[in-house]
Structure 1
């Protein structure tokens, strides 16, 4: 009788264990550099869940790409409405994507590939030379370049008044270009700058007026 009971318990435990594995979410994929097309090793992928009516994120899993840019991870299925996946790598712009639980499957691995854009920077050196006065005005209009990051410079017109001696850093996607026009009110000084940003590098543009 004891042997029979033990056998039943083992069968039930095995069934529950298999059932749990079937209900886990598996993720796999590859991450590449959007500029070079090369695989990106050592990128970090984190999985956060949001419950219904709750904006508090909970970290549920984490993975890292191997030398070939591949990753795989398993996270436990729980009661949540939205899954957010955050992909980060030093000197690359982060990727945040959200998925409804209805978009995911427990039957097969959820294969999701990503492209990360390498960072580059334009360093604008703005200097109002002597003689400078409070009435001087420099107008810079940025018309192209990356705008969808926290530290990005907007595509808009910015005014610099009076005595100016400053530096402005504008990030951009590596391998892409950034374009500005600039004018100095009250005289004929003006210009157009097209900056071809090199991945992982800083290009300096000096506007002296």
Structure 2
């Protein structure tokens, strides 16, 4: 097979991943907006959860064969989810504030590539890089679960946030068994999870104040 043919196939594969990122982002962003109205009380936090968006970006990025494509797909998913969410809310008669657009747009540009790289490192690397990748996404899940229990458990279902924490812990254990082969890398994965979780709570608890200032 000629080098040009191999290169063409690679480009096609990269574009396919990005197309999936765009389609998944737009569709799930719109579903998030409508889910705020449709979901039962026990699952209502799902439509207001940043972790569901982050996990979507992470899962799509797992399809990417290269780190750059994974980073781009992570950002594409979050940006398109924001677009889908805003458009669907507009159709429902709920315009979005400039603060929301700026805050979550910036989050998509910053966090999207990091989630994509976490996915790529977890799938294609072992040891330290896999520990950082798996610990990053586990930390996001556990961090938002902790935030929910600390700040909004009186207005939302606590069982949802506990469930999210359990999912994050199960993911951490699965990553440790699947990709991490020593106690050192396992400990690094756990430490990364804890650091990301704490940082998430600290930053997210100030998100409302930041949006009001934008």
Asked if these proteins are the same fold (TM beyond 0.5), I'd say no
Higher alpha-carbon Rg: 1
Give the structure with the larger helix fraction.
2
Q: Which has the higher contact order (CA 8 A, sep 6+)?
A: 2
